Amino acid sequence: MAGRLGPVQDPASAKLLANYFTAQRRRALSPETIYCRGLHLRRLAIWLERHDKTLPTATREDVELFLDACHVSAKTRYGYTSSIDVFYRWAQREGRLGANPAELIQRPKLPHYLPRPAIDDELAVAIELAPMPERAMILLGAYEGMRCKEIAGLQWSHVMDHLKPPMLMISEGKGSRQRVVPLHPEVFEALRRTPEPYEGYVFRQRAGRFGTRSAPGKIGDRFDPGVVSHLINNYLHELGIVWTAHSLRHWFATAVYRTTRDLRLVQSLLGHSDPATTAIYTAFDPGEGIEAVVQLSARAREPVTLEAS
C-alpha cells in the first residue's frame, strides 16, 4: 500500500488498514475495488497525520474537512465518502473502533447523466479501419456490451463457439457477477485474428509495449483494464472521434433496446443489478418523439368556460 502517496506512518492506522484489506481480499473483492478504496483511505490517513490526527481518533469534522480539502467533483467525493464509511463500518463491526465518524456524513447528490452512445456512422468507420487488437476490443465493447475490465479479463475458455447458438461468458463484471451474452459472428471472427495460442487470456503482452500495475511491460501478462481503455480511446481520438471506450457499451445498450424495447433484457445483457442503472445507458431516438411533441397544443381541445361563482 505504499504507492506514490508514501506509507502511513502511524502504527495504529497502518495496522488497521492492513487488517481491513486482508478482510477485503478474503471477501474476494476485485483488485480494482481494493486498489481504489486503498487510495482513498491512504490519502485520508496521510492527511490526518499532517493534522496530528489518526484513523482511530478521527472525528466527523475531521473527515468532512478532509473531503473539502480534496477539491474533487461530486461523483468523486461520493466515492471517497463511500470508501471511508465502509472502512469505519467494518472497524466498528469488528470491535476495533467504537464509533463511525462517517456514519452521518451525507453523500453529495449526483446529477442524472444522459446516455452517451457512440454514433452509428462513426462506429462503423472505426470498426472498418481499426488494426488489431483495437478492432477486437471495439467489437467486444459495441457488440457484446463489455467494460474495459471485462475485455481485459476475457479468456479463450469463455468463448463458447461450440454452443448453438455460440455464447460468450463474461466473468469479471462488477461485484464478480457472471453473465452470458450471445457471441456476435463479427466478434468471433476478430478474436480468431488475434495471435495464437488460443488459450489463457485473449489479450496479453506481446512485445512489452504496454504496462500493468503488477509488472510493467512483462511479456505474457494479461492486459490491465487501463491499457484496454488507453488503446481504444487513443485510436478513436486519432480518427477525430470524441467518444470513449465506455461509449461503446452505451451504444450496445441503446441498440438492443431500440430493437427489443425490453429494458429487462438489456439489464441482463449489461449485468446490472438495478434497472435504474440500465436506464442511464439506453438513449431514446429523438425522432420517435417528434410527432408527439409537435402535436402538443393548449388549444387542441374545446375551450373551457369558467363560470362565475
pLDDT score recorded for residue 244: 87
- 11-93: CATH class: mainly alpha
The domains of the chain are located at 11-93, 120-286
Mean pLDDT of the chain: 82
Per-residue model confidence as pLDDT tens digits over 194-252: 887 888 999 987 655 554 343 345 666 788 888 899 999 999 988 888 888 988 988 88
pLDDT in tens, 150-197: 999 999 999 999 988 899 998 876 656 788 889 999 999 999 998 878
What is the predicted pLDDT for the residue at 2?
A: 38
Q: Indicate the fold that domain 120-286 takes in CATH.
A: hpI Integrase; Chain A (1.10.443)
Tell me: pLDDT of 89 over 70.
yes
Q: How is residue 207 written as a grid cell?
A: 512485445
What digits encode the pLDDT tens for the residues 12-22? Answer: 999 999 999 99
Three-state SS for 200-222 is CECCECCCCCCCCCCCCCCCCCE
Burial status of residue 212 (CB atoms within 10 A of its CB: 0-12, 13-18, 19 or more): middle
For the ranges 68-77, 83-92, 223-232, 262-271, the maximum mean pLDDT occurs at 83-92
| Separation between Cα atoms, residue 269 and residue 144, nearest integer Å | 8
- For every residue of 3-30, DSSP letters joined together read TTT-----HHHHHHHHHHHHHHHHTT--
Confidence (pTM): 0.62
Q: How confident is the model at residue 27 (pLDDT cuts 50, 70, 90)?
A: confident
The amino acid present at 274, given as its one-letter code, is D
Pairing state of beta strands 167-170 and 159-160?
Answer: antiparallel
Residues 6+ apart with CB under 8 A from 241: 118, 122, 126
